[in-house]
Structure formats: structure tokens, C-alpha cells
Amino acid sequence: MKFKKKTASILVINCGSSSLKYKIIRMPDGDELVWGEAERVGIKTQSASIVTHSVLGKKRMIEASLLDHSAALKKVLELIADDSKKNKDIKFDIFAHRYVHPGMFFTRPTKVNQAVLTKLKETLPLAAIHNPIVYKLLEFCHHEYSSINQFVVFDTTFHKTIPPEFAVYALPLKVIKKYGIRKIGFHGISHRYVMEEVCKFLNRARSTQKIISCHLGTGGSSVCAISDGRSVNTSMGFTPLEGLMMNTRSGDIDPGVIFYIMFKERFSPEETENILNNKSGILGVFNTSSDLRDVIKDITTNKKAKMAFDMYVRRVRAYISFYSLILKKPDILIFTDSLGVGSPILRQSICKNMGFLSLSIDEDKNVEYGNGISDISVSKSETKILVIPTNEEIMIAREAYKELIKNDTGY
């Protein structure tokens, strides 16, 4: 269908491993008509799944059975359809999805058609948690809403600037070249957004700043080193499994442990991958839940909770220390996403006794943080510590809108 209007209402769909964030954003102005999030999707937690749904600023919360992301999207589309009956402005013309790992097939935002879907199907093993989820939703939208243009925006683009010394693995060169193996990096949409917004907030040119961005989510988490506005290293690697301990991912692990378990248990590669991606991390240590927020609730009474929390904190601190060395002291440390923004105790624990890296958090500012963007460092701190909610959706909408204009001669 030719899209001939100069404005577009874009339904942005942003799937995490256990969440589905969404917004209807009217472009090019960036006005948010609808926003929401389905939480605790398809996972074992102590609380019910819930959808927070806001229309023109009016918010409500709906408990729902969200066994998987398909059920979550169908619920969201049902809510939007009901809203449209009451207000004709609540509608969308375009789908735009965040896609985690495009392999070597795509290097820029792309319009979805059957050929693109065929290529993306080959990437499913590369991000074993995220890619299959998003691919299923892409197929659903492609078949059930065939008249609506659909775009994918990739999480990897921001990390293309990582230099070879950090991107190349110590594997045989023939293997690396044959399969295109290198550090790919993820959460690039989020790291780019918070980097740009924090520099605006501090009135500093991003081309002059050395930044460490901590994207700490209830699903995936990563740390990124940024210099002169470009990613120079990040904790996730060829897949999102490398790096920090996450809700169900192991993060960094001795590969020998994997081979040992496979040998002892006679596990297949598929069974082993399932353990590393879906049964490890916080869930593996804490067992009761995969959500760090549940861990924090039980931290004073449950030894497993304390162990899981301490392990998580120490890995974040290790990456901050490593990236401080790479950057030769950062100018800015950023906390973002659900845990980075929502947990004062997590921020406090990560920054504790980090004065040797010029990181000094103001305890009162940290505890009193409410919303928006805020500087929580002590007034004389050499390195600024900021909390900022990420907004991957507006970045996705901007990129999809650019591609829409390029792809449609009606403009």
C-alpha cells in the first residue's frame, strides 16, 4: 500500500525477554499518543502478568494471562482497538520492531517483506531468547495486517565502531572469517539514546565525552563504553549471552564448564543452550524468580537472594572498572532501563567504594530520585553519575520514519 501522507502514526513494538513495551508515536513531531508495557511475560515470577496502558496520559493497569509475547501483542492490539472506537486519533499506520541480532544480513533499518522474513529466519539461533520472539510477531503482523507497512530497526548498528582489538575473538582466523564471528553488541538503540540525551542535559558535546552506559533491565543487561559519541566496547558479544549475569542468562562463563556439563549429563547442544539462556542467571542462583526486583525484596532473609544480588552487582562493577581503564577515566556514568532507573539500592551497591575511579554517588539524591533525568553524583564528583529512563521507542520510530520516506515515492 502506498503511504502518501507526510505524517505517520507508528506503533513501535519493543520486546524484551520478559516484557513487551509499545508506543504509538506520531512522526515527524514525535508526539506519543499511546504507551505501555506488558510485564512478566512468559516467565516464572511471584506476581501476576500485567499490562500498563496509557492513552494521551491517562493510565490504567490490566492483569492478564500473558503466556508468551504473541499473547501480549494480541492483548495490546485489543486495547488499542477499543481506544480507537472512543477516539479516532488513536490509530497507527506503521509497525516498527526492535530486532536484536540480524547477523551479517542487515546493517540498517529495513522494510519487511517475505524475502526479509526468509533472511531473518536464519538469524533465530543468534539471539536465542529475543530473535524467535520478535520473528513470530513479525510473521503475525505480516500476515494479519498485510496492508500496514512494517519495519525492523536493529540493536547492533551502534556497535559497528567497536575496534578490532575488542571485537575479535581469539579463535582460528579461518573459523572467524567463515562464519562472520565477532563481537556484535546489543542494546545499541538504548545506549545511543541515553548518550545523546545526557549530553544535551549536561550541555556537553558528545564528541568530547567518555561515557559508560549501564542498561540494566529485568530481562537483559549490558554495559557500554562510549568515546566521542561512538561505541568502543560493550559487555554483550556475538550473542546476548556474553557479559553480565541476567535474569535467565549465565553471562560470562568458562567454556570448559559448558563442555564438562555436556559430557557429564550427555546434554545435546540444544539442551545446553537452553540451560545457558533460559535456566541460568538470577533464576539459576535464586531459583524462586528470575526478576532481580524479587531478589531485592528477599535480600535480608534469603541467602540465595543475597548471593544472586552480590553476584549481579560485582559483575556490573567489574565492567565499569574495565571500561574506566579503556576510557582513561569516564566523564559520565549512566544508569538506565527498569533496574537501573528503578532500584536505588542497586545503584548504591554498584557505586560503593568506587572513588578510586572518581565515582562518588550522593546517597540522598540517589534515594530521592523520582523520574526523568537526574544527576545523582556528589557536587564535586569528577565523573557525573546520571539516571535516565531509556526511550528506545522514539529512536526506533525516528529510524523507521526515515526508512518510510526513502521507501515510499509518495513522499
Asked if 155 is an active-site residue, the reply is: yes
Across the range 351-375, mean pLDDT stands at: 96
More confident residue, 330 or 101: 330
Exposure of 74 in the CB half-sphere (CA atoms within 13 A): 11
Average pLDDT estimate for 94-113: 90
CATH of region 203-387: 3.30.420.40
- For 278-305, b where at least 16 C-beta lie within 10 A, e where not — what string? bebbbbbbbebbbbbbbbbebbeebeeb
Does residue 47 or residue 227 have the better pLDDT?
227
Q: Per residue in 158-197, pLDDT tens?
A: 999 999 999 999 999 999 999 889 999 999 999 999 999 9
pLDDT above 70 as % of the chain: 97
Q: Quick check: 312 pLDDT over 60?
A: yes
| The predicted structure's pLDDT at residue 409 | 40
Predicted pLDDT of residue 46: 63
Query: What was the pLDDT predicted at 108?
Result: 86
Confidence of residue 263 (pLDDT cuts 50, 70, 90): very high
pTM, to two decimals: 0.86
Q: What is the mean pLDDT of residues 333-342?
A: 97
Name which of 57-66, 264-273, 336-345 the model is least confident about.
57-66
**Nearest CA among 161, 168, 319, 156 for reference residue 229:** 161
Residue 410 has pLDDT above 50, yes or no: no
Question: Mean pLDDT across the stretch 257-285?
Answer: 96
What pLDDT is attached to residue 5?
57
- Given the residues 29, 82, 93, 155, select the one marked as catalytic: 155
Comparing 132 with 47, the larger pLDDT belongs to: 132
pLDDT tens per residue, range 277-294: 999 999 999 999 999 999
pLDDT at 304 over 60: yes
pLDDT at 238 over 60: yes
Domain ranges for the chain, please list them. 203-387
β-strands 374-375, 19-27 pairing: unpaired
Q: Is residue 4 scored above 60 in pLDDT?
A: no
Per-residue pLDDT at 408 = 61
